[in-house]
Structure 1
Amino acid sequence: MTSNLTGTTALVTGASSGIGAATARQLAALGASVALVARRRDRLEALAAEIEQAGGTALVIEADITHRAQAQAAVDQTVERFGQLDILVNNAGLMLLGPVVGADPEDWERMIAVNIQGLLHTTHAALPHLLKAAEDSPRRVADIVNISSIAGRVAWNGYGVYNLTKFGVNGFTESLRQEVTQRHVRVGVLEPGGVDTELGSHNTAEVRGEMIDPFYEQTEVLAPEDIADGVGYMVTRPRHASIGELWIMPTDQA
């Protein structure tokens, strides 16, 4: 594969599985050095070994980005190791579904912490380095890609607080895009439909049986690599082109 990101550094949150792991592989294959950020060190180490065996460069950072200090430390470690930060992929996410009536508010707090606060913490920590890369790196451009969801475009019964977080990601992304993209930090949101990942596995058996499993049984869903390919596309555009929104759906998902 022809490298388009040689000499750059990318940080991917939620890199221990699914879309995050696939994105890290994709960016490494394109030539970027990749910081792998998640809580499950064993999975990160296995992924880093895979990337390095394929000729890439990876840094394992065990961190819980819902804690601002840990998100800041993850960015600091990345820049200390590689000297710069050119790409941030905010991928870490949690989806806990079910009715609002009778819900456990702790589930809501967990989703808000990961999907919103974690994204804000890593973005805030990364922005000074991304702005610097846009000014003086060889590419003279930097990128933020926020992984949202079709649930950031359409609300459904039973998705209430997950919808809240993803609509929030979309709104924040668009506001930040208007703030910094003319400084050549491109900010875009990628909204997948159904993807074959662990995202639904954190729900109760009842929710999985009623809301998640039937969909996956009836739909030819996307692979994580499909989304990683979209991320790769967004961050390898010429400096003068910015992808603000990319919506990727299974062909047979209405």
Structure 2
Amino acid sequence: MALKLTGTVALITGASSGIGAATARRLAEDGAAVVLVARRKDRLEDLAAEIENAGGTALAVEADITDRLQAEAAVQQAVERFGRLDTLVNNAGLMLLGPVVGADTEEWDRMIAVNVQGLLHTTHAALPHLLQAAEQGPRQVADIVNISSIAGRVAWSGYGVYNLTKFGVNGFTESLRQEVTRRHVRVGVLEPGGVATELGSHNKAEVRDAMIDPFYESTEVLAPQDIADGVAYMVTRPRHASVGELWIMPTDQA
């Protein structure tokens, strides 16, 4: 019996760890050929081998999506290898927290580059192929899932520019959804709460001590697989059903 995504191709950014890696595994289990995009080539190759050994199909593509040309080349490699692109999961993200007053503005630039510009680069490059896939078999529908955050719904002190990027992702997602939904490219945003990933590890020690570690020590956070399950749910709906927003939270996160 064919799996839900048999004959389709999914590209996942930030696929070298955490939510991206879990999503790649899950979509491969559902039958998609998965294109793994990130900067850490060794991790991508290990994950691709793991997926292939489990009977799936995977392609590792080393790319820095903050560079428009590299993002475009990653999409092109996917299409050249598999002949199509049905699903884009914009997962790559960076969370650098702290006060606006006295902030290291280089951290702001890095977040905006990954969370906003990288997402825009991959989406722009992928859209022609997604629109084409939506006109063809096997499913006659294509999907974009943008991984945002609860920080795209609620603003907190110390999250200023991270909030800005995720509120922006939510707004862009809804605008694009309205633009292409009648052409059967479904566009949705998935907003996780706390997840056990490397996301917080890139912060300065004082930020981890004050804002991140206490939360993770007091909260039963989500696993990356929980978010991967949400992505799989969104992209395996029948052609006539579109999930525009999915909010997944730890049960005990206030």
Is TM (by shorter chain) over 0.5? yes
Please give the alpha-carbon distance, in whole angstroms, between the structure 1 residues aligned to 2:84 and 2:49: 22
Deviation by residue 1:148-185 (Cα, 9 ceiling, x = unmatched): 00000000000000000000000000000000011000
Tell me the distance in 2 between the aligned counterparts of 1:249 and 1:191: 8
Aligned length: 254
CA distance in 1, matches of 2:164, 2:252: 25
Cα deviation code 1:115-158 (max 9, x no counterpart): 00000000000000000000112200000000000000000000
After TM superposition, the structure 1 = structure 2 runs for residues 191-230 of structure 1, keeping only pairs within 5 Å, are 191-230=191-230
Cα separation, 1, equivalents of 2:137 and 2:106: 43
Q: Which residue of 1 aligns with 2:72?
A: 72
Q: In structure 2, what is the equivalent of residue 102 of structure 1?
A: 102
2:132 corresponds in structure 1 to: 132
TM-score, with structure 1 as normaliser: 0.99
CA distance 1:129–1:182, change in 2 (3 Å): same
The equivalent residue for 2:173 is 173
Matched residue type, 2:142: A
Partner secondary structure for residue 10 of structure 2: strand
Deviations 1:197-217 (A, max 9, x none): 000000001000000000000
Residue matched to 1:7:
7
Unpaired runs of 5+ residues, structure 1, are none
Q: Which residue of 2 aligns with 1:53?
A: 53
Tell me which amino acid in the other structure corresponds to 1:83: G
Secondary structure in 2 aligned to 1:136?
A: coil
The residue matched to 1:195 in structure 2 has which SS?
coil
The equivalent residue for 1:251 is: 251
Answer yes or no: is the 8 Å Cα contact 1:13–1:92 preserved in 2.
yes
* Runs of at least 5 residues in structure 2 that lack an aligned partner in the other structure: none
Aligned match of 2:145: 145
Report how far residue 101 of structure 1 moved. 0.3
CA deviations 1:47-91 (Å, max 9, x no partner) are 001100100000010000000000000000000000000000000
Q: Does 1:187 align with 2:187?
A: yes
1:3 CA drift (Å): 1.5
Task: Give the share of equivalent positions with the same residue, in percent.
Answer: 84
State the 1:5 CA deviation. 0.1
Structure 1 counterpart SS, 2:126: helix
Letter in 2 for 1:23: T
**Residue 33 of structure 1 contacts residue 58 of structure 1 at CA under 8 Å; is this kept in 2?**
yes
Residue type of the partner of 1:72? E
**What secondary structure sits across from 2:36 in the alignment?**
strand
In 2, distance between residues paired with 1:54 and 1:244?
Answer: 31
Q: Following superposition, which runs of at least 4 residues in structure 1 exceed 4 angstroms of deviation?
A: none
TM-score normalised to the size of structure 2? 0.99
Instruction: Give secondary structure in 2 for the equivalent of 1:75.
Output: helix
Between the aligned partners of 2:169 and 2:44, the Cα distance in structure 1 is 25
Give the secondary structure class of the aligned counterpart of 2:175: helix
SS in 2 for 1:95: coil
The alpha carbon displacement at 1:2 in A equals 6.7
Question: Is the 1:2–1:30 Cα contact (8 Å) retained in structure 2?
Answer: no
Partner of 2:18: 18
In the aligned structure 2, how far is the partner of 1:181 from the partner of 1:97?
A: 34
